[in-house]
Amino acid sequence: MSEPLTLAGYIRQRPKVDWRFPDEFGLCERNLDCRQLCILEIMKWQGERNPIPAFLNAFDCRTDGLLLRRSEPVLQNGWSAIRFPSLSTDQLRHLVRSVYDAEGYCLIYYNAFEVPFSAYYRKHDVVHWALLIEDDGTHVTVIDDTGDPAYFDGYIGRIPSDVFFPALQSAGGSGATIVRRNDAGAAASMEVQFARLARTSVEQMLRQGGLDRLAGFVAAVEALPDDELRASLDQLEFDIHYFRRLRKLWETAAGSGVIPKVCLDSRWTGPLTEACNQWSYVMGVLMKWKSQPEKSYGSRLTGYLRQALEAERQLFDGLERLLEGRP
């Protein structure tokens, strides 16, 4: 009997890893973040044939001036991520090797701002995730969508261990995670899961101030002169891209049949599509402004932001109306 295919072997027998483009489920970096994309590779290796329900989360919104945030997504549908605490360099190396030996992979998290083999180095102060698929004692092989070309060929990099682990430790807050599935946790139907997520979204966005905070963010952008906005283009692009991903994921779920037909209603699906479009226009303006910094795009940016905000209002109003009368 042949031995089970390792995750590294599974990755290598497939076409080149490229998260920029949708996979067979319609999933890519437009609708999943770095952590979710790493977990998706583990799920597919383990035979998951319907991963989208595991990634669907409720909508919320948190802001602070020009900072736009949403809660870190959690795994659903019986899947869970078990995070180990951050450790010193020697302990971290031992933990990663132990996890890799036991699981065949190790999901790594670290502060990308302090890690020189990341494209986020000295740019974005965020917790980033990468998937370690091999550790031979002298080098590690990882999948990462922000890898520096000095170590990476596309999304796959081979990094000396005496570079990788000290860099993680110097960044602070680095650690390891494994993924588990409990089939009993996936017992609820997709219709039940949708209703729960929709109710939570309506509560968080309409009753707990999520839309009001989003309106405050739009007002904060609108209040700044173009010169000050230019200095914040990178951060705005990063935050808005992350914020819109969940909208794109819901759109993918609705369009691919993952969300049951009985739950689809033009009162929310139409505004969802419009919100996705408007956030895409916002991203387009930000990227164009970065490439043409001498020009002024502030009014166009705020115009699309206002339209995105209105589409968001209609989205959650539509979800609320859909849920009226449901148990």
Distances (CA, A) of 318 to 19, 42, 202, 260, 314: 32, 35, 9, 17, 6
Whole-prediction pTM: 0.93
Q: How far apart are CA 185 and CA 289, in angstroms?
A: 46
DSSP secondary structure of 149-166: TTTEETTEEEEEHHHHHH
Q: How far apart are CA 308 and CA 324, in angstroms?
A: 25
Q: What is the pLDDT of residues 240-291, one digit of tens each?
A: 999 999 999 999 999 999 999 999 999 999 999 999 999 999 999 999 999 9
On whether the CB atoms of residues 308 and 278 are closer than 8 A, the answer is: yes
Contact residues for 102 (Cβ-Cβ < 8 A; gap 6+): none
Average per-residue pLDDT for the chain: 93
pLDDT over 90 at 166, yes or no: no
Q: What is the pLDDT of residues 277-321, one digit of tens each?
A: 999 999 999 999 999 999 999 999 999 999 999 999 999 999 999
Q: What is the mean pLDDT of the segment spanning 179-192?
A: 82
Q: What is the mean pLDDT of the segment spanning 155-164?
A: 92
- The region, left, alpha or beta by phi > 0 then psi within -120 to 50, assigned to residue 306 is alpha
**What does residue 6 show for φ and ψ, rounded to 5 degrees?**
-70, 165
